[in-house]
Amino acid sequence: MARLRAADAERRAASGFGPDFLEAFARGLRVIGAFSQQRSQMTLSDVARATDLPKPSVRRALYTLTCLGLAASDGRTFRLTPKIMELASAYLGSNMISTVVQPACERLAERTEQSCFAAVLDGHDIMVIAHSMHGRPDVLAPTIGLRRPAFNTAAGRAILSQMPDAALDSWLDDLQPKGATDFTVTDKRALRSEMMNIRKQGFAITAQEWRRGYHAAAVPVRRYDGVTIGALCVAVWVEDSSVGSAAERHVPALLAEAAMLQPQIL
């Protein structure tokens, strides 16, 4: 059995993972996660730098992915293949959140004539699990698996507002907010106050905090027992708007759709 590097052994000990933790599998997932829109093709050395893994481990992981058809290589660079979507399909096909919410996104997009997406919280990001495109696709169109910061997005705040106070405080303690525009709120006290307001009013509104001209409204999505599992969001692109939000008028449609969804999500 291959020995762990000292750094990996320390990381495992610090994480609290037990002896059944499969390091080789974890490394393979890190290699897959290293690819992105900005890093769609990488050399072995690129992947090693991006993952902070030794080249022999990266070489074996890339070789395995290539053998399985999940990656391809021209002899120098590697890229993921469409077959990698089978991994996402396993989640999407087995999880009622995405299969039930996708039609809701399509109904909202048709009703509002704006792009709509559903997202779940993953760490300090939101991840899109369903969407329907409308309006400005170059700016607004999300794709399944797309990640965005949670703290400065309406969908993220809609989910965060439903956290118990202690969990929200812990989440904010670990947050390292970075301003995306002049309108981005980065003060943690102000963010917490905003979460409390959202909790009372039942919806979140952002105006140009993620990107200039990008406005959004979002509401929590709850399962049948009232537990929040995600958010529905309508996104609006406004060429010239410095005050207010162009998305607020879509809140009633969002609330109605979320209420319809709740008894369907088990």
For the domain that residue 186 is a member of, what is the CATH number?
3.30.450.40
Percent over 90 (pLDDT), the chain? 62
Mean pLDDT for the stretch of residues 208-219: 91
- 163 and 250 both lie in a single domain: yes
- 82 and 104 both lie in a single domain: no
Alpha-carbon dihedral sign for residues 147, 120, 176, 193: positive
How far is 238 from 241, CA to CA, in rounded Å? 6
From 60, 86, 112, the end of a domain falls on: 86
Residue 40's CB is within 10 A of a number of other CB atoms, namely 11
Mean pLDDT for the stretch of residues 124-151: 80
- 230 and 255 both lie in a single domain: yes
Among 38, 264, 229, which Cα is nearest to 120's?
A: 229
Under 8 Å between Cβ of 205 and 216: yes
Single-letter amino acid code for the residue at 220: P
Range of the domain at 235: 95-264
Residue 192 counted as domain residue? yes
- 74 and 108 both lie in a single domain: no
- 210 and 145 both lie in a single domain: yes
Identify any residues that bridge with 71 across adjacent strands, giving them in sequence order: 80
Distances (CA, A) of 7 to 24, 49, 50, 92: 14, 15, 16, 35
Residue 136 counted as domain residue? yes
Among 37, 39, 36, 4, which Cα is nearest to 19's?
A: 4
From 86, 107, 142, the end of a domain falls on: 86
Confidence (pLDDT) at 11: 61
From 86, 106, 125, the end of a domain falls on: 86
Residue 1 counted as domain residue? no
Q: Evaluate if pTM is beyond 0.75.
A: no
- 161 and 235 both lie in a single domain: yes
**Res. 1 pLDDT band, cuts 50 70 90:** very low
Mean pLDDT for the stretch of residues 100-127: 92
Residue 108 counted as domain residue? yes
- 144 and 17 both lie in a single domain: no
Between CA 51 and CA 56, with CA 54 as vertex, the angle to 5 degrees is 120
- 81 and 104 both lie in a single domain: no
Least confident of 41-50, 66-75, 86-95: 86-95
- 44 and 128 both lie in a single domain: no
Mean pLDDT for the stretch of residues 5-11: 61
Count CA atoms closer than 13 A to 241's CA, side-chain side: 18
Tokens 């300090």 belong to residue = 124
Asked whether residue 217 carries a pLDDT value surpassing 60, the answer given is yes
- 178 and 238 both lie in a single domain: yes
Number of domains in the chain: 2
Exposure b/e, 57-79, CB count within 10 A at least 16 = b: bbeebbeebeeeebbeeeeeebe
Between CA 35 and CA 129, with CA 114 as vertex, the angle to 5 degrees is 35
- 122 and 175 both lie in a single domain: yes
For residue 56, the domain's CATH number is 1.10.10.10
Q: E-assigned strands of the chain? A: 42-43, 71-73, 77-80, 115-122, 125-132, 147-149, 204-207, 214-222, 228-237
How far is 99 from 108, CA to CA, in rounded Å? 15
Residue 214 counted as domain residue? yes
Among 187, 153, 154, which Cα is nearest to 172's?
A: 187
- 67 and 108 both lie in a single domain: no
